[in-house]
A and B are shown apart, each in its own frame.
Chain A
Amino acid sequence: MPVGAAVAAGVLAVLVLGALIGPVLRPARVDLDRVYAAPSLAHPMGADGSGRDLLAMVLSAMRVSLVISVLAAAVAVAVGVTIGAVAGILGRWADALTMRFIDFMASQNHFLFAILLVVLFRPVLGGQGAVLLSVGLTHWTTVARIIRSELLSLRTRPFIAAAIGGGAGRWRLFRRHLLPHLAPATITAMILLVPHAIFHESGLSFLGLGLPAHRASLGNMLADSQHAIYAGAWWTVLYPGLVIFALAASVGTLGEWLRDRTQPRWRSELQL
């Protein structure tokens, strides 16, 4: 394991541990005597506009953001695998049509589209569900391309021909023979999507279109900080953003290391 990936793994382990036990060790309480208190020994990240300890807020926000990002990446991968599998298994006109659709979706701006999805689906799914759906439906294109090309190259391999010769049906073929081969690629693609999901969740929440304002999420904290910086509370901007940065950088570095190890061909295909 190279130094960069090892450092990233260490940083990520600390962050995940903090997200798991932090909220237990450091519950956030409203304390109006500490409104916008500057960082000190007792409160290393200072306090927010309600006098809550910022470190405690950041830790619980990180938990929320991490869980949502991983789930959102999983939704995107599920959509991508499904569409990629349809193209790769059916082939011919279904493949051509799907590729057109993928190209079109990939060329469009996904953030505007994500906003539209959130607005449409927030009333039933709630903020969290709408974010999951919107990230899932806007980030699947690279996954679908990868799955499709993996399937197309798998189809030419002898053991697949043997299975077809043995009379395996399409679905059985996919489940028993193709799916196991796609697993490493799928997992790698999902990890590489997590930083994007973090950006999208925090961006949507920052705009007031993501998680409900009362839930501690990194995007909501940054939205609050927009006003707080005018009160001089720079720490409300610095630390939540720094955590997003650390999460995205460590997960991204680990994902790229995994990709280079397991999928060296992707470098050109997946520009993340």
Chain B
Amino acid sequence: MLRRTRGGRSPSSTWAMIGRRLLALPVVLLAVAAFTFFLARVSPRDPVQSYATVQSTVRQQTAEEIAAAWGLNEPPHRQFLSWLGNLLRGDLGNSRLLGGQPVLDEIGARLLPSAVLVGAALLLVLVGGLLAGTAAAAFRDTWVDRAVRTLCYVNLAAPSFWIGLLMIWVFAIQLGWLPPGGMTDPRAVDPPLVDLRHLILPALTLAAAQHAWFTLYVRNTVLSVRQDDYVRFAEASGLGRGTVLFRHALPNALLPFLTLTGAHLAELIGGTVLAETIFGWPGVGQLAVQAALAADLPLLLAITLAGSVLVVLGNLTADVSYRIADPRVREPAL
């Protein structure tokens, strides 16, 4: 099991691990950068021509000027090095979609809405999954367990964007309870930073994609922890059901979830693409789709890179919190 095979069981190794992982971060980024650049190079898409489709027709001479201005006539490794150099200086290029705006500024402006959405969805996944999964395990083989499991299997086979559309139909159009899109009310004079009414449906849609298997995972882990000796000892000692579940089984079952949360982050970040598009949420995911539809490669590459950085940092945070949470790793044996 995950929590038993983690190596390096001493607190000093936690710092060593953080250091090692942070040092590896640039290497990982370089790999992603090289990989995406490689793909862009082998791709038959001609950057000048794709620019041309945006700008209608381009004369041959203009096309050569553009190519020269972008350094497209240079050999590939030179192109990569100059792209990489720009990358290191924080210059990810200029977006054609946004009329020549620096890519980084636009992503930065969109980061907050996406972070709010991902945070809300993560909260829903964790809280909902813990409650439903623990309930299913505590009432194993009763109607509670069957209901939770059935819902999860249904959820697993239903695409989240379909669930989002159905929720728009039911809650926004039929019942009129919640707005169907946007981040704030466009009529508001002084819109709040986060409008909860606007947040609910997108966050539910984003959470829907991850909720099912997280719930099933919680259920199975709690069930397996209940077979462990310390839980059986607590039960044999006649401690109350609630005490056994919440003070003995859950704290142990929760440890591997910390690591899992890191894995969930990658899926949630990717899920913003669909959720933000459906609900017109002005985040990075929506920007990615716009960039993709306009074939705006600098913007799309930058978003992909940013996604990778976030995933790596998220995994690191999850692993560090795991080490802090588990006393067997945090405190040395005497």
Bitwise, A141-182 to B at CB < 8 A (1) or not (0) is: 000000000000000000000000000000000000000000
- Nearest CB on B from A44, distance (A): 19
Find A109's partner among B43, B161, B270 (CB 8 Å cutoff): B270
Using CB atoms, name the residue of chain A closest to B294: A119
B156 — which chain A residues lie within 8 A by C-beta? 248, 252
B307 contacts A225, C-beta separation under 8 Å:
no
Using CB atoms, name the residue of chain B closest to A240: B162
Using CB atoms, name the residue of chain A closest to B158: A245
A107 contacts B315, C-beta separation under 8 Å:
yes
Find B159's partner among A107, A208, A244 (CB 8 Å cutoff): A244
The answer to the question of A42 belonging to the interface, with a C-beta cut-off of 8 Å to chain B, is: no
The answer to the question of A226 belonging to the interface, with a C-beta cut-off of 8 Å to chain B, is: yes
Using CB atoms, name the residue of chain A closest to B312: A107
- Nearest CB on A from B182, distance (A): 14
B266 — which chain A residues lie within 8 A by C-beta? 107-109
B166 contacts A238, C-beta separation under 8 Å:
yes
A222 contacts B162, C-beta separation under 8 Å:
yes
Bitwise, A105-121 to B at CB < 8 A (1) or not (0) is: 00111111101111111
Using CB atoms, name the residue of chain B closest to A109: B270
Bound CA–CA A209/B308 (angstroms): 21
Q: How large is the interface on B (under 10, 10 to 19, 20 to 34, 35 or more residues)?
A: 35 or more
The answer to the question of B329 belonging to the interface, with a C-beta cut-off of 8 Å to chain A, is: no
A111 — which chain B residues lie within 8 A by C-beta? 270-271, 273-274
The answer to the question of A93 belonging to the interface, with a C-beta cut-off of 8 Å to chain B, is: no
B158 contacts A237, C-beta separation under 8 Å:
no
Using CB atoms, name the residue of chain A closest to B39: A120
The answer to the question of B188 belonging to the interface, with a C-beta cut-off of 8 Å to chain A, is: no
B278 — which chain A residues lie within 8 A by C-beta? 226
Which has the most chain A C-beta neighbours within 10 Å: B165, B271, B293?
B165
A120 contacts B159, C-beta separation under 8 Å:
no
What does DSSP make chain B's interface, helix, strand, loop or mixed?
helix
Binds A, one of B57-65, B135-143, B298-306: B298-306
Interface residues of A in 71-124 (CB under 8 A from B): 104, 107-113, 115-124
Interface residues of B in 268-306 (CB under 8 A from A): 269-271, 273-274, 277-278, 288-289, 292-293, 295, 297, 300-301, 303-304
A206 — which chain B residues lie within 8 A by C-beta? 161, 274
A117 — which chain B residues lie within 8 A by C-beta? 39
Find B165's partner among A113, A195, A222, A248 (CB 8 Å cutoff): A222
The answer to the question of B15 belonging to the interface, with a C-beta cut-off of 8 Å to chain A, is: no
The answer to the question of B28 belonging to the interface, with a C-beta cut-off of 8 Å to chain A, is: yes
The answer to the question of B7 belonging to the interface, with a C-beta cut-off of 8 Å to chain A, is: no
B300 contacts A207, C-beta separation under 8 Å:
no
A209 — which chain B residues lie within 8 A by C-beta? 289, 292-293
B166 contacts A112, C-beta separation under 8 Å:
no
The answer to the question of B23 belonging to the interface, with a C-beta cut-off of 8 Å to chain A, is: no
How many chain-A residues does the 8 Å CB contact rule pick out?
A: 43
- Nearest CB on B from A197, distance (A): 12
A113 contacts B304, C-beta separation under 8 Å:
yes
A107 — which chain B residues lie within 8 A by C-beta? 263, 266, 311-312, 315
A230 contacts B157, C-beta separation under 8 Å:
no
Bound CA–CA A226/B161 (angstroms): 10
Using CB atoms, name the residue of chain A closest to B161: A206
What does DSSP make chain A's interface, helix, strand, loop or mixed?
helix
- Given that A104-B31, A109-B266, A117-B39 are contacting pairs, would A237 and B157 also be in contact in the complex, using a CB cutoff of 8 Å? no
B39 — which chain A residues lie within 8 A by C-beta? 116-117, 120
Using CB atoms, name the residue of chain A closest to B36: A116
Interface residues of B in 43-75 (CB under 8 A from A): 43-45, 50
The answer to the question of A70 belonging to the interface, with a C-beta cut-off of 8 Å to chain B, is: no
Using CB atoms, name the residue of chain A closest to B295: A119
The answer to the question of A202 belonging to the interface, with a C-beta cut-off of 8 Å to chain B, is: yes
The answer to the question of B80 belonging to the interface, with a C-beta cut-off of 8 Å to chain A, is: no
Interface residues of B in 142-160 (CB under 8 A from A): 153-154, 156-159
The answer to the question of B40 belonging to the interface, with a C-beta cut-off of 8 Å to chain A, is: yes
B residues with a Cβ closer than 8 A to A are 28, 31-32, 36, 39-40, 43-45, 50, 153-154, 156-159, 161-162, 165-166, 168-169, 173, 213, 263, 266-267, 269-271, 273-274, 277-278, 288-289, 292-293, 295, 297, 300-301, 303-304, 307-308, 311-312, 315
**Can you list 10 A-B pairs, Cβ within 8 angstroms, ordered by A?**
A111-B273, A115-B288, A115-B289, A119-B45, A120-B297, A124-B44, A222-B165, A237-B169, A241-B166, A249-B157
Beyond A115-B289, A119-B297, 17 additional pairs, beta carbon < 8 A: A108-B311, A109-B269, A109-B311, A111-B274, A112-B269, A112-B273, A112-B303, A112-B307, A117-B39, A120-B40, A203-B161, A229-B165, A229-B173, A241-B158, A245-B157, A249-B154, A249-B157
